[in-house]
Structure formats: C-alpha cells, structure tokens
Amino acid sequence: MTPKTGAMPRSTASTPAQIQRWLKRNLFNGWFNSLLTLVCLAVITWIAIHLLRWATTQAQWAVVTTNLPLFFVGRYPVQQIWRVWAALAIALAMVGVWWQAGTWKQKNTQTAAGSPSSPLPSPSPQALFFILLLIAFCCILWLLAGGLGLPRVGTNLWGGLLLTLVVAITSIVLAFPFGVLLALGRQSSLPILQGFCTVYIELIRGLPLIGILFMAQVMLPLVLPGQPNIDRVVRAIAGLVLFNAAYLAENVRGGLQSIPRGQTEAAKALGLNPFLTLRLVVLPQALRIAIPGIVGQFISLFKDTSLLALFALLELTGIGRSILAQPQFLGRYAEVYLFVGLLYWVFCFTMSRISRRLERGSRG
C-alpha cells in the first residue's frame, strides 16, 4: 500500500484492509451491532428476493404499459396532445428562467453588499419575473382548456398527472395571496381584524382536508348565487385554496415574526408609510425566510390532491382506480399503486431536496 491511498476519502477506498476496517467500525462493533446487522441483512434479502420474484414472475406490468397515456394525461384527446407538450415546454422554460434568475440574483446581492449605500429598490427584475410567470400561467391554462381559437377541452377529459399538476399549481398560486393577507391580518395590531384572521386560520387547521373538500363540493354551489353548476375541478381547487391559505399563512407568519422590529422602525424613520414599509422592507425579507416552509406546504398539497380521487376526479390516484376497474386488469392493485406511488415520489422527493437546498442557501 502506498501512503497515498491512506489519505484517500472513504468512499473511494477499495483496499481489503480498509474495507475490513470500515465494516468493523460501521457494522460489527460489538456483539449487539453484529447481531443487528445480520438480522437486517436477513430481512433485506428476504424482502428483495420476494419482491424480485413477484416483480418478474407474478406481476403483470401490462396494466401500466398499455395505460401510460391515461396515467399521464387522462382522457385528453389524442389530436390535442401537442398542447400538453407546449404547456410543459413553457413550464420548463419558466423553471429555467427562475434558475437563471437565482444565480443572477446571488451575483447581484454580492455586488450590492460591496456598496453599502444601496439605494431604494428600482422596479426590480423580480417584479418582471412575476409578471412573466403570470403570463406563462395564463398561457398554460389557455393551451390546456382551449377557447379563443383553440378547440375546447373540458376538464372532465383532464386526468392523470396532468390534472394533479394543474390542480396543485393553480391551488398554491391562488392560495398564496390569501395566505399572505391572512398572515398580515393575524400579525396586525387591529384587534378585530386579527381576531377574524386567527379564527379562520385555526378553524381551517382544525378540520380534516376531506371535510373541506366535501364542503367545497357540496356547499359551494349552495352559497353562490345563480347557476349552481360549477365545474368539479374548480370546486376542488376552491377547497384546496381555502385549506392551504390557512397553512401558508402560518408559514408566512413565521417569516414575519422573524423580522427584527428595527427593520420596521428604520423604514419608518426613512419616512416610508406603513404600506411601503410592508411592500419594500418587511415582506421581501419575510417571504425569503418563509420559502422553505412554502415549498414544504406545496409538497403536502401535491400529495393532498390525491384526495380528489374520493370526489370522482380522475387525477393520478383517481385514474389509477379507474384503470383498476377495466375488466382485463381486475385485481392488479399492487402494480398500479406502485407505479402511481413512484410518480408521486419522484416529484415530492425532488421538491424536498430543492427545499433543503433553499434552506441551506438562505442560512449560509
């Protein structure tokens, strides 16, 4: 052994002596740990063997492969599929812009930190980005739903991952302003306003989502004037917005509370009125702190959209259930639910990683 290998990091260590040492330290230090290791190994091999045997011999993956379009876009008309691709392209472009803006902003703040007399924020690229985002959002909805020159595709034809994503993203976008307003209301010094906001937030947070969705499906047509014939998807989104606004409010409140009082006082001393203080000083900082929490809320919202399956919507879980009702695939529960679970997992896991990175970034 040359001395050089001794200095190598553990992950690339490959000499038998080092492997042995690593094994001894991490798996076999003491009789208890050795026993634990052996039991774990037995369990893992047992699971792996059974899973592999099931996946290769008993499982019939045809239920997944023949229904792939259903899983991804539901019963969206095949001739119009290009619109989904176009929407996806716009969404990816926006993610790219956001990524780019993030790195650009980092550079910008570094230079700003160099010059201490940073002036009042100019009409920022952030505002531009928000406007762009809004336009992209409307474009995507127009592409998917049609109208204005494109043939209409009713929401009853939307399904699968497409519907899950549309519902989740629309709900979080709509819930965000409500959440911020509720958080500001709860933090406000006006007792009545604060009371209303607190009651709303605590009421919603004490109820199960399924109850709120039930309310949205059943009560919404009853409490609105005129024709009580509201689209099922719209009702579902309304329920999710009402529900998530309360949770987002708590995330934003956490951010607001972490802003030191000196910031508001300094803004006041500069002669900013309360609205400008909020808009230019408090909110930008509070929201930045709240971002990881908001992403976390989006992850749980993404998972919560599965509840729409109980209200006859064919989002990812719902379409899985309807595929299981096809006579030739009766009883193929494990295959369908594992595949659907994998799709959810990929999205949620990616987002949770991003959230963790944001958290580390904001702290560092």
Among 139, 207, 230, 291, binds another protein (CB under 8 A): 207
Among 169, 232, 352, 359, binds another protein (CB under 8 A): 352
Residue 334: partners with Cβ closer than 8 Å, 6 or more residues away: 54, 59
Cβ-based nearer residue to another protein, 208 or 361: 208
Judged by CB under 8 A, does residue 304 bind another protein? yes
Q: How far is CA 288 from the centre of its chain?
A: 17
Backbone angles phi, psi at 130, to 5 degrees: -65, -40
Residue 217: partners with Cβ closer than 8 Å, 6 or more residues away: 232, 235, 236, 239, 311
Cβ-based nearer residue to another protein, 68 or 330: 330
Per CB under 8 A, the segment of 91-99, 121-129, 175-183, 201-209 that binds another protein is 201-209
Binding mask 32-71 for another protein (x = CB under 8 A): -x--xx--xx--x---------------------------
Judged by CB under 8 A, does residue 72 bind another protein? no
Q: Hunting for tokens 């998807």 — which residue is that?
A: 233
Per CB under 8 A, the segment of 9-17, 116-124, 206-214, 258-266 that binds another protein is 206-214
Q: Shortest distance, CB of residue 134 to another protein, whole angstroms?
A: 25
Q: Hunting for tokens 């991804």 — which residue is that?
A: 72
Judged by CB under 8 A, does residue 299 bind another protein? yes
Among 145, 193, 230, 358, binds another protein (CB under 8 A): 193
Per CB under 8 A, the segment of 100-108, 124-132, 175-183, 297-305 that binds another protein is 297-305
Q: Shortest distance, CB of residue 246 to another protein, whole angstroms?
A: 13
Judged by CB under 8 A, does residue 177 bind another protein? no
**DSSP letter, residue 8:** S
Site for another protein in 226-285 (CB under 8 A): 228
Tokens of 350: 């990616």
Q: Which amino acid is at 251?
A: N
Three-point CA angle 226, 230, 232, nearest 5°: 165
In sequence order, what are the beta bridge partners of 158? Answer: 74
Among 27, 97, 133, 136, binds another protein (CB under 8 A): 27
User: What angle in degrees, to the nearest 10, is found between the helix axes of 232-257 and 209-218?
Assistant: 140
Q: DSSP alpha helices (H): ranges in the chain?
A: 3-6, 16-26, 31-53, 62-65, 68-73, 81-114, 125-145, 160-187, 191-205, 209-218, 220-223, 232-257, 261-269, 274-276, 283-304, 316-324, 333-363
Summarize as ranges the residues that interact with another protein (CB under 8 A). Answer: 26-27, 29, 33, 36-37, 40-41, 44, 185, 188-193, 196, 203, 206-211, 214-215, 218-219, 221-225, 228, 299, 303-307, 309-310, 317, 320-321, 333-334, 337-338, 340-341, 344-345, 348-349, 352
